[in-house]
Amino acid sequence: SSIKMVKICCIGAGYVGGPTMAIIALKCPSIQVAVVDISVSRINAWNSDQLPIYEPGLEDVVKQCRGRNLFFSSDVEKHVSEADIVFVSVNTPTKTQGLGAGKAADLTYWESAARMIADVSKSDKIVVEKSTVPVKTAEAIEKILTHNSKGINYQILSNPEFLAEGTAIQDLLHPDRVLIGGRETPGGQKAIQALKDVYAHWVTEDRIITTNLWSAELSKLAANAFLAQRISSVNAMSALCEATGADVTEVSFAVGKDTRIGPKFLNASVGFGGSCFQKDILNLVYICECNGLPEVAEYWKQVIKVNDYQKNRFVNRVVSSMFNTVSNKKIAILGFAFKKDTGDTRETPAIDVCKGLLGDKARLSIYDPQVTDDQIQRDLTMNKFDWDHPIHLQLASPTTVKQVSVVWDAYEATKDAHGLCILTEWDEFKTLDYKRIYNNMQKPAFVFDGRNVVNMEQLREIGFIVYSIGKPLDPWLKDMPAVA
């Protein structure tokens, strides 16, 4: 028998493409995996000791496989033309201009990848949508490929990735499910089977779900919308808790005990961030509007509105607590990433909170264990359009914000500060020496915990005035003007 070595190529070496391909390479020694990207610096980083993304466990996996059956290359065309299965994992930011601006997905990168595949292919290919895309993107891609096909047979599959950052490796190793959508034709079913065979190296059959193309595409948008909705639901409750004296942690716990609801993903916070939730919901809203479903669109829009409300509410709480002004006051920001265990800052609530405080003329001293000074300065100076688009395609070099300093230590950040805000739930913030921090701060010293990581009682005993999301208010905060 002729067992041909399967070759996989993934276009896009980002947060999704990199880790996903590393795990495929780890689990499938008989498959050769090439990850390609137009960003040469990103590929160089993947080939170095300093990987371009921080993800627990990733480095180990990459070191085991790199050079064996896992390769990172900027020779996009070569690897695409040799591959049997091409994953497309390029970025799909929200459109900033033209039709659907602010809502629709910008498929520029996707389209150019598809055209490139059509240009360089010499053999049949399975093309897999990995990055989240609007429903019916597969159809558009199919058209681009088949209209330029030169007799080559393409099968399009949708195989959305459900990994969360910070836990990507564990999520990939033990997925709740793998979802594969394809055409209901014999050719489509054969392609589904080929991709199933890849995952079957480590995922049991009962966790591999196959559907039609549209169901797979929509399931990804729906899953992210449901997850974000849970957070907006609990965050909306947190405002009511503060107003009534209920404790959101107790409410979440009691509600989550209902097995129909479940205990996970019910942590109140300063707001959700990340590259997916807002973008995917905006996308869903746009798709609903285009399909004549304004009521459905309105329903999902509320999830984003509540998230924006939560971020604003936090800023207002800080300002109102501190005698209605933070002008020229030093405020320490602990945590800038959108969640713990990642250096990713895309859509992080910290951007809006910091901009809000800067708007009130605060001086910020920011510490995050994984986010660089450059990144923070970029996030705070650039407008949304710029940071939605890949850095390497940008020409302008960012200026720095004068009132912002980025430091490498929580104690440094809080020294002489009037208040501190915790915006990411890094484990290390639970075990800081808060007595020492208190002694080095201006008095009264305020803590605004946007992630409910500190022990309020202990901090109050030390002398802090403490605000935690959705918790009974300090008498001090109760006397301050109501927060909108």
User: By the criterion CB under 6 A, which residues form the site for ligand UDX?
Assistant: 161-165, 224, 227, 231, 265-267, 269, 272-274, 276-277, 338-339
Question: Which of ligand ADP, ligand UDX, none lies near 267, with the C-beta cut-off 5 to 8 A by kind?
Answer: ligand UDX
User: Which residue lies nearer to ligand ADP by CB, 10 or 410?
Assistant: 10
Residue nearest to ligand ADP (CB): 14
Asked if 206 and 235 count as a contact pair (C-beta separation under 8 A), the reply is: no
Nearest to 209, CA basis, from 247, 179, 188, 169: 179
Question: What is the x/- site pattern for ligand ADP, positions 252-281, by CB under 6 A?
Answer: -----------------------x------
Question: Which of ligand ADP, ligand UDX, none lies near 388, with the C-beta cut-off 5 to 8 A by kind?
Answer: none
Tokens of 347: 């859509």
Least Cβ distance, residue 173 to ligand ADP (angstroms) = 18
Give 66's strand partners: 70
User: Which residue lies nearer to ligand UDX by CB, 74 or 252?
Assistant: 252
Using DSSP, state whether 427 is helix, strand or coil.
helix
Q: How many whole angstroms separate alpha carbon 362 and alpha carbon 356?
A: 9
Cα 295-136-153 angle, rounded to 5 deg: 170
Least Cβ distance, residue 422 to ligand UDX (angstroms) = 12
Using DSSP, state whether 286 is helix, strand or coil.
helix
Options 187, 390, 398, 444; binder of ligand ADP; rule CB under 6 A: 390
User: Which residue lies nearer to ligand ADP by CB, 90 or 225?
Assistant: 90
Residue nearest to ligand UDX (CB): 274
Least Cβ distance, residue 397 to ligand ADP (angstroms) = 19
Q: Which alpha helices (DSSP H) does 104-212 contain, by range?
A: 108-120, 137-147, 168-173, 186-199
Options 8, 21, 31, 37; binder of ligand ADP; rule CB under 6 A: 37
**Residues binding ligand ADP: number (CB under 6 A):** 22
Cα-based distances in Å from 51 to 45, 56, 58, 67: 5, 12, 9, 15
Question: Which of ligand ADP, ligand UDX, none lies near 164, with the C-beta cut-off 5 to 8 A by kind?
Answer: ligand UDX
User: Binding of ligand ADP at residue 11 (CB under 6 A)?
Assistant: yes
Least Cβ distance, residue 171 to ligand UDX (angstroms) = 8
User: Which residue lies nearer to ligand UDX by CB, 152 or 255?
Assistant: 255
Per-residue burial over 126-157, b = 16 or more CB atoms within 10 Å of its CB, e = otherwise: bbbbbbbbbbebbebbbebbeeeeeeeebbbb
Q: How many whole angstroms separate alpha carbon 174 and alpha carbon 389?
A: 31
Question: Which of ligand UDX, ligand ADP, none lies near 229, with the C-beta cut-off 5 to 8 A by kind?
Answer: none
Question: Which of ligand UDX, ligand ADP, none lies near 113, with the C-beta cut-off 5 to 8 A by kind?
Answer: ligand ADP
Q: How many whole angstroms separate alpha carbon 210 and alpha carbon 216?
A: 8
Q: How many whole angstroms separate alpha carbon 362 and alpha carbon 450?
A: 18
Nearest to 137, CA basis, from 85, 213, 221: 213
User: Which residue lies nearer to ligand ADP by CB, 91 or 232?
Assistant: 91
User: Which residue lies nearer to ligand ADP by CB, 17 or 188?
Assistant: 17
Least Cβ distance, residue 77 to ligand ADP (angstroms) = 10
Cα 290-291-295 angle, rounded to 5 deg: 95
User: Which residue lies nearer to ligand UDX by CB, 2 or 259?
Assistant: 259
Asked if 477 and 465 count as a contact pair (C-beta separation under 8 A), the reply is: yes
Using DSSP, state whether 126 is helix, strand or coil.
strand
Sheet holding 70-73, edge to edge: 70-73, 32-36, 7-11, 85-88, 125-129, 154-158, 178-182, 208-212
Question: Which of ligand ADP, ligand UDX, none lies near 265, with the C-beta cut-off 5 to 8 A by kind?
Answer: ligand UDX
Question: Which of ligand UDX, ligand ADP, none lies near 17, with the C-beta cut-off 5 to 8 A by kind?
Answer: ligand ADP
Tokens of 438: 């208190």
- Tell me which DSSP letter residue 364 carries: E
Query: CB under 6 A: which stretch of 5-13, 212-220, 298-306, 453-461 binds ligand ADP?
Result: 5-13
Catalytic positions: 276
- The DSSP-derived string for 332-357 is EEE--SSSTT----TT-HHHHHHHHH
Question: Which of ligand UDX, ligand ADP, none lies near 272, with the C-beta cut-off 5 to 8 A by kind?
Answer: ligand UDX
Handedness of CA 270, 275, 281, 286 (dihedral sign): positive
Residues 63-122 that bind ligand ADP (CB under 6 A): 76, 89-91, 109, 112-113
Asked if 55 and 83 count as a contact pair (C-beta separation under 8 A), the reply is: no
User: Which residue lies nearer to ligand UDX by CB, 159 or 267?
Assistant: 267
Residues 123-182 that bind ligand ADP (CB under 6 A): 131
Question: Which of ligand ADP, ligand UDX, none lies near 11, with the C-beta cut-off 5 to 8 A by kind?
Answer: ligand ADP
Query: CB under 6 A: which stretch of 30-38, 149-157, 367-375, 422-430 binds ligand ADP?
Result: 30-38
User: Which residue lies nearer to ligand UDX by CB, 134 or 274?
Assistant: 274
Using DSSP, state whether 158 is helix, strand or coil.
strand
The binding site for ligand ADP (CB under 6 A) comprises 11-17, 36-39, 42, 76, 89-91, 109, 112-113, 131, 275, 390
